[in-house]
Amino acid sequence: MQIIIYTNAQQVAESAALWVKELIKKKPAPVLGLATGNTPISLYKQLVEQHKSNSLSFKNVTTFNLDEYHHIDSTNPQSYRSFMNKNLFNHVDIDVNNTFLPSCAAGENPRVQGLAYEEKIKQQGGIDLQILGIGANGHIGFNEPTSSLSSRTRIKTLTQQTISDNSRLFKPDEKQPTMAMTMGIATIMDARYVLLMATGANKANAVKEMITGGVSAMCPASALQMHENAIILLDKAAASELSDQSYYQWADNENRKLIEDYGYFHNY
Ligand code: PGA
């Protein structure tokens, strides 16, 4: 794991945007894995700004989102499709036909949809860079604690903690879904690079478990300890429970020199 600690959340977003930009510049037809939630909004803002000011083009980019609520219409403002349209897709030159979410609308079979999503990712040659947030309970995507570390895209029941963490986003008269389709942990592990963003003190405990706890289905993000190219971008608050911060900072300084000499990615 490459752990990078920034002073604030804005710097985390700027750094994440740089990784995405490098990938887009480097690969002729990059495949990006995307996440929803509060944390990546600032990343998407950066990308939209760079599209507008520096003409960062998304024309050849294909995207796969981590998750989508079960039985929610894509036009529903609470759908993750709507979130992505609002925060990124509507503001850049991406071909919306190349943007995919693991949707399962009413009448569709979640098992069939899950398999089809896996197949689609394969057809596109796999995910080059997967953006991730982390839940306060250590989830990645909607892989809640106890999710199999070998899981693939499927339907999951959300935990009470996730439902209550996300309830702030629903108005009192809106029905909050309790199930979601999500990429599995093995799906995420197949991405060539993963870039996890975590900001705020409410993530500090999950971040500590992910980095220094044992690999366990009780903290799904801990599976990233087994990933060859996992980059963890933290602000000070999210890193506050890590005891080895000076080592991570020193290693980051060394890595910056490597990046200057050899670029961000190994295998492109
Ligand atoms: P958040 O969600 O970015 O809204 O904190 C992260 C997650 O639940 O994965």
Here the CATH number for the domain that contains residue 219 is 3.40.50.1360
Mean pLDDT lowest among 73-87, 114-128, 161-175, 187-201: 161-175
What's the domain count of the chain? 1
Tell me if 209 is assigned to some domain. Answer: yes
Report pLDDT for 268. 65
Report pLDDT for 178. 94
Instruction: Quote the CA–CA distance of 56 and 48 in Å, as a whole number.
Output: 9
State the DSSP H helix or E strand holding residue 180, giving kind and residue range, or none if neither.
strand 179-182
Tell me if 48 is assigned to some domain. Answer: yes
Report the separation in Å between the CA atom of 133 and the middle of ligand 1, taken as the mean of its atom positions. Answer: 5
Give the single-character DSSP code of 194: E
Report the separation in Å between the CA atom of 254 and the middle of ligand 1, taken as the mean of its atom positions. Answer: 30
Pairing verdict, β 62-65 and 129-132:
unpaired
Answer yes or no: are the C-beta atoms of 32 and 129 closer than 8 Å: yes
Report pLDDT for 6. 97
Tell me if 268 is assigned to some domain. Answer: no
Tell me if 172 is assigned to some domain. Answer: yes
pLDDT bracket for residue 150 (50, 70, 90): very high
Positions annotated as catalytic residues are: 67, 137, 139, 144
Q: Does the beta carbon of 39 lie inside 6 Å of ligand 1?
A: yes
Residue 176 main-chain phi, psi, to 5 deg: -95, 125
| Domain hosting residue 96, numbered range | 2-262
Tell me if 267 is assigned to some domain. Answer: no
Pairing verdict, β 193-198 and 129-132:
parallel
Tell me if 238 is assigned to some domain. Answer: yes
Instruction: Quote the CA–CA distance of 229 and 33 in Å, as a whole number.
Output: 14
Tell me if 100 is assigned to some domain. Answer: yes
Tell me if 185 is assigned to some domain. Answer: yes
Q: What Rg, from alpha-carbon coordinates, does the chain have?
A: 18
Is residue 30 predicted with pLDDT exceeding 90?
A: yes
Report the separation in Å between the CA atom of 39 and the middle of ligand 1, taken as the mean of its atom positions. Answer: 6
Give the residue, out of 134, 162, 163, with the most ligand 1 atoms within 8 A of its beta carbon, to mutate for a pocket test: 134
